[in-house]
Amino acid sequence: MPTDQLSGARLLELYRTMVLSRHLDERVWLLNRQGKAAIAASAQGHEAAQVACVEATDPSKDHYLIYYRQFTAMIALGTEPEEMLRGFLAKEADPMSAARQFPLHGAHPRVDLFNFSNVIATQLPQAAGVALADRLKGSDAVTIVYFGDGASSQGDTHEAMNFAGVHKLPVIFFCENNRYAISVPLEKQMGIESVASRAAGYGFPGVQVDGTDVVAVHEATKAAVERARAGDGPTLIEAAVERLLPHTTDDDHTRYRSADDIARMAERDPIRILSDLLKRRDLLSVDEDEEIHSLAKQRVNVATDAVDAEPYPGTETMFDHVVDISTYDSGGNS
């Protein structure tokens, strides 16, 4: 695999982002166990795929439609740990929904993140719409939409891909395939072997890539970005990742995954894989690696202490942004 597109310095930077994401993710899980964070869906195991995909795009003009497992992509796009913790701890200053929604749900205008729904796959038709808008405006921006393997079986996914294929829209369908939709394994939600092969039905390429390999994901995404900017249309990327933790903090995957299956995932931990690669290339020493982890922990500690001390929304704001349905008449006019 050629590596000339990602310099050693960039690889190290991506590693720092992945380590920060991992420590923040672990912290949120602990805050849930302390009764402070209501629920979280972890990105542990998905970090390489997310950071490398963002690295291959241009955040100054491209658009990103995320889903709930997007810790690392959000950090890579410039979301601060404090901003994410405000959502998890339901604090007044939560930039995404002012503590109205499931954590990390809502829009984040400062980093140009669109509002997304917890209803899986709804972001895909929206992404096709965003890409169409860019086409009409004459912009060469690319839209990247993230989703899981389970979401790839939803009707919305197929309508979005069909529409994007017909109109050759500049959109990248980026599937993070962790082989589970909550407790349902891949083979029980689709009759074909790969998500990527779905693209053939819509007239654009589907590529499979090892989602624990930063260099491979970067290269696959770069090719898809070039194709989209050139006006050649969409690409479906299927990044094979591991969901190292249960579906959410409310789940227990030992009920439906074998002990062997869970133990085997450790070999595909993307943080360990990139750390080993950097060390093999003499880009990282053991001491420097420890320092990166220690700085990330400090960053997360500072953010946690600050956000923990922030106020919750006041009860007087309970009905802010809530539509009063008594103002609607039965004819549907308001």
Ligand X SMILES: Cc1ncc(C[n+]2csc(CCOP(=O)(O)OP(=O)(O)O)c2C)c(N)n1
| Residue 131 to residue 136: CA distance in whole angstroms | 9
| Residue 99 to residue 84: CA distance in whole angstroms | 11
Indicate if 108 belongs to the active site. Answer: no
Site string for ligand X, 56-95 (x = CB under 6 A): -------------x--------------------------
Binding span for ligand X by CB under 6 A among 78-86, 92-100, 144-152, 193-201: 144-152
Which position among 64, 173, 180, 204 is part of the footprint of ligand X (CB under 6 A)?
Answer: 180
Indicate if 264 belongs to the active site. Answer: no
Do residues 274 and 244 touch, judged by C-beta distance below 8 A?
Answer: no
Site string for ligand X, 250-289 (x = CB under 6 A): ----------------------------------------
Which position among 38, 93, 133, 182 is part of the footprint of ligand X (CB under 6 A)?
Answer: 182
Which position among 125, 150, 246, 270 is part of the footprint of ligand X (CB under 6 A)?
Answer: 150
Q: How far is the CB of 166 from ligand X (least distance, A)?
A: 24
> Quick one: 132 or 256, whose CB is closer to ligand X?
256
Q: Does residue 118 interact with ligand X by CB under 6 A?
A: yes
Q: How many of the chain's residues bind ligand X (CB under 6 A)?
A: 17
Displacement of CA 208 from its chain's centroid (Å): 17
Q: Annotated catalytic residue: which of 256, 257, 293, 299?
A: 256
Could you tell me the two tokens for 140? Answer: 């060469």
C-alpha triplet 177, 183, 186: angle, nearest 5°: 40
Q: Does residue 120 interact with ligand X by CB under 6 A?
A: yes
| Residue 122 to residue 107: CA distance in whole angstroms | 14
Q: Does residue 187 interact with ligand X by CB under 6 A?
A: no
Rg (CA), the chain: 20
Indicate if 247 belongs to the active site. Answer: yes
Q: Does residue 165 interact with ligand X by CB under 6 A?
A: no
Could you tell me the two tokens for 153? Answer: 């079986």
The amino acid at residue 69 is R
DSSP string, 137-152: HT----EEEEEETTGG
Could you tell me the two tokens for 219? Answer: 């290269």
Q: How far is the CB of 192 from ligand X (least distance, A)?
A: 15
| Residue 4 to residue 215: CA distance in whole angstroms | 10
| Residue 33 to residue 157: CA distance in whole angstroms | 34
Q: Which positions from 11 through 50 interact with ligand X, judged by CB under 6 A?
A: none
Any idea which residues carry the catalytic annotation? 243, 247, 256
Residues near ligand X (CB under 6 A) are 69, 118-120, 147-151, 154, 176, 178, 180-182, 243, 247
